[in-house]
DNA sequence: TACCTTTCTGAAAAGCTTTTCAGGAGTCTT
DNA sequence: AAGACTCCTGAAAAGCTTTTCAGAAAGGTA
């Protein structure tokens, strides 16, 4: 049933070493034998057992990806970026997601141990995992969206603070004085940064942040939807909402429609991420474009570079540019594409 | 650097067999030694090399998932369903996606060979791959959305024809006589079935399908968006659109808004899938709920059952129920939740 | 006390490959 | 023609674990 290199060797009438050499094209082998081996391998549809090979070569051909979630456009896009390059370069992809606790996160890390040659970690909500974990030291790691000081690993991300500062400033520039925010989960570092950007933008616009206008969300549509009732019920109704991400902005938009609030006339709204759907919402959503797909591509490129040892030993820390994308949801008239880059 | 079972054995002053026994809890070992081994393993932070183990045991602890794409809510949801159970049951997940050709698809299959203990395959667009491929015969397989006659594998899906028949019938019931369809890619089996359902529903409603009303799309927002200009430009403008999936429906909705067409008064529209976003679109989208997350969960449960040999040898073929979810996009008044089940 | 069980432990094999090492055959040089 | 190469090939080791097998020790019975 199971066909091994021995079977091929017997079939071709050569030793297993020769089979290995032919199949891996590692030495010159007499043409006649070469043919016989190829034929035999083909006939038996042989391929080397990955476990045996990786046991010996101490490499697997896989990369591990750790993300908070596999659902939501932001993550999908990120994964898509990784996936493309992964296939091109012949690596396979091992994904682990949704770790509610640090313990679960470290379990995931352990699962990756020796099963992959490198790791991409996006874990904005894992505050305190052990940065010296043995798995982390055993292979190259690229951190995404999680500034991390280590000369052994690369780190790529964008400036959440600045991005959110800019989109909030846009609302201020449009003349809004009462601007609510639908925040992300307090545990996530990127959510914290965005909140900080929001507050700073208000202050710089001469507006004192009010905690009653900071409605807690968790990056989901539903939380955005629910936040709206709080916002509409507030003592002095704001005229604009800055949502911590596009998903929650969409939820909010839906709720605003249901409440009969016109966008952007009665309520302007902005998001963050520029999910593919942002352009198709009603009205199209002003947001901050951060190109998760690009991030994914970059992350895997760096990682593969490190795995193949072509990268600098020095850890790189890349900050990707973002782009403010203004659409109808925050503009008086319906126009599209005005943009400002970081 | 690399710590093996030998190191633990030396450290604890026992043989490697004993270490293995203690760590796998496979035999009774004298308590004192047991302690020593545990301590040593802990101290050296040892864990068995997965390759060595799987080479010997002929099992890996992984499951492979092959999907057309990793982006889009439908697939995200599906993966999420798998992911949850995967973690619970201690398996890891290897994902391969976006195979443009049969060759690429079979490459993916080969990559999975011996790296996982079972396979979940969702490939509605892979018409003619080799169903007797050696990888497919080497481990349990669960096919999703792809009726497949094999007593060795389970198969899970829903009735695309009926689902689309029903949602189209709803439009007919609402009094529409000219109903356009935005189709999926002609190569995908599920898209074909939905188109068939559309036509049948029209005929059963006494309406002769017109090919000019069947606008080709490809399941993306963009294709839905573009389809609208064709539809609006047609000689006799239809009063309703049945989109092959939610994504293309969303694109269409966006285009309709831009064109100033009121939904549902001037144009009703329906989707398919009930993506999480469908409920949040403007107006909320009538659609067919197929619960991809449930499908994922079921698929992985079946698969793990087969891997652990508790499942019937007999191949099961499950057809999951769908549910017609009517929302404002196809109803005169804004009401929600009326539903009809398959 | 001698023999038979039972219980625990170590040695060794098996799982499959890649790669090093060494040897044999053939070719070239002087 | 002999020695020195080169070229190709096979044997064997290494990579790390689990599990079988067998042996030693201990305990029980006749």
Q: Give me the DSSP letters along B297-317.
A: HHHHHHHHHHHTT-S-SSPPE
* Lookup result for tokens 């009303």: B213
Tens digits of per-residue pLDDT, B101-152?
888 898 999 999 999 999 999 988 776 677 778 898 889 999 998 766 666 7
Query: Which pLDDT does position A149 carry in this prediction?
Result: 62
Query: Which pLDDT does position B87 carry in this prediction?
Result: 87
Q: Is residue A20 helix, strand or coil?
A: helix
Q: Is the pLDDT of residue A127 over 50?
A: yes
**Distance, angstroms, CA A54 to C1' D9?**
25
- Residue A3 pLDDT grade (very low, low, confident, very high; cuts 50, 70, 90): very high
- Alpha-carbon distance of B182 to B184, in angstroms, equals 7
- Alpha-carbon distance of B149 to A315, in angstroms, equals 52
Tens digits of per-residue pLDDT, A176-204?
999 999 999 999 999 999 999 999 999 99
- Residue A151 pLDDT grade (very low, low, confident, very high; cuts 50, 70, 90): low
Q: Which of A130-139, A202-211, B200-209 has the lowest mean pLDDT?
A: A130-139
- Alpha-carbon distance of A276 to A293, in angstroms, equals 11
Q: Is the pLDDT of residue A337 over 50?
A: no
- Residue A338 pLDDT grade (very low, low, confident, very high; cuts 50, 70, 90): very low
Asked if A137 has any chain B CB less than 8 Å from its own CB, the reply is no
- pTM for the full predicted model: 0.91
Tens digits of per-residue pLDDT, A77-113?
999 999 999 988 889 999 999 788 888 898 999 999 9
Whether A51 and B47 lie within 8 Å, measured CB to CB: no
Count contacts between A and B (CB, < 8 Å): 136
A253 vs B93, B94, B282: nearest CB: B282
- Residue B86 pLDDT grade (very low, low, confident, very high; cuts 50, 70, 90): very high
CA trace torsion B80, B82, B87, B91 (10° rounding): -140
Taking CB atoms and an 8 Å cutoff, what residues of chain A touch B75?
A: 76
Tens digits of per-residue pLDDT, B150-201?
667 889 999 999 999 999 999 999 999 999 999 999 999 999 999 999 999 9
Of A297, A298, A300, the C-alpha closest to A62 is: A300
Whether A52 and B54 lie within 8 Å, measured CB to CB: no
Q: Is B28 exposed, middle or buried (0-12, 13-18, 19+ CB in 10 A)?
A: exposed
Closest nucleotide (CA of A15 to C1')? Answer: D10
Q: Which bases in strand D are touched by protein, i.e. have an atom under 7 Å from a CB?
A: 7-12, 14-20
> Do A67 and A78 form a contact (C-beta atoms < 8 A)?
yes
Q: Is the pLDDT of residue B337 over 80?
A: no
Query: How many angstroms separate the Cα of A19 from the Cα of each of A15, A29, A37, B118, B273?
Result: 7, 10, 6, 29, 50
Tens digits of per-residue pLDDT, A11-32?
999 999 999 999 998 888 888 8
In 10 A of CB A332, how many CB atoms? 11
Asked if B289 has any chain A CB less than 8 Å from its own CB, the reply is no
**Distance, angstroms, CA A26 to C1' C20?**
14
Interface test with B, best of A51, A67, A91 (most B CBs within 10 A): A51
Of A208, A253, A202, the C-alpha closest to A231 is: A253
Taking CB atoms and an 8 Å cutoff, what residues of chain A touch B55?
A: 49, 51-52, 55
Footprint of strand C, using CB within 7 A?
Answer: A 2, 4-6, 16-17, 20-21, 23-24, 26, 46-49, 52-53, 55-57; B 14-18, 21, 27-30, 33, 52, 55-56, 58
Q: Is the pLDDT of residue A341 over 80?
A: no
Please compute, for residue B218, the number of CA atoms within 13 A of its CA located in the half-sphere on the CB side. Answer: 7
**Distance, angstroms, CA A1 to C1' C23?**
35
């Amino acid at each position: 049933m199971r066909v091994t290199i021995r079977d091929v060797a017997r079939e071709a009438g050569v030793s297993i070493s020769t089979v290995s050499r032919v199949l891996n094209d590692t030495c010159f082998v007499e043409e006649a034998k070469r043919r016989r081996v190829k034929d035999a391998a083909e006939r038996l549809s042989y391929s080397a057992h990955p476990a045996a090979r990786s046991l010996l070569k101490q490499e697997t051909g896989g990369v591990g990806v750790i993300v908070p979630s596999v659902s939501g456009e932001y993550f999908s896009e990120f994964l898509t970026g990784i996936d493309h390059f992964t296939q091109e370069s012949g690596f396979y992809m091992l994904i682990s997601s949704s770790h509610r606790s640090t313990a679960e996160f470290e379990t995931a890390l352990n699962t990756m141990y020796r099963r992959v040659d490198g790791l991409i970690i996006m874990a904005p909500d894992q505050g305190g995992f052990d940065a010296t974990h043995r798995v982390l030291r055993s292979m190259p790691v690229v951190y995404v969206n999680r500034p991390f000081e280590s000369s052994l690993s690369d780190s790529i991300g964008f400036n959440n603070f600045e991005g959110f500062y800019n989109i909030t400033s846009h609302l201020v520039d449009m003349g809004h004085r009462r601007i609510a925010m639908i925040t992300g989960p307090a545990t996530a570092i990127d959510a914290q940064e965005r909140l900080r950007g929001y507050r700073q933008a208000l202050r710089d616009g001469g507006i004192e942040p009010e905690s009653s206008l900071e409605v807690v969300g968790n990056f989901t549509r539903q939380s955005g939807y629910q936040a709206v009732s709080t916002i509409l019920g507030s003592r002095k109704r704001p005229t604009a909402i800055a949502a911590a991400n596009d998903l929650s902005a969409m939820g909010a938009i839906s709720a605003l429609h249901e409440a009969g609030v016109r966008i952007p006339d009665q309520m302007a709204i902005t998001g963050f991420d520029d999910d593919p759907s942002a352009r198709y919402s009603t009205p199209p959503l002003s947001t901050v474009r951060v190109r998760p797909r690009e991030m994914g591509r970059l992350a895997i490129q760096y990682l593969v570079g490190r795995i193949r040892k072509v990268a600098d030993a020095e850890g790189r820390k890349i900050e990707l540019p973002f782009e403010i994308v203004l659409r109808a949801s925050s503009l008086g008239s319906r126009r599209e594409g005005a943009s400002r880059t970081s």
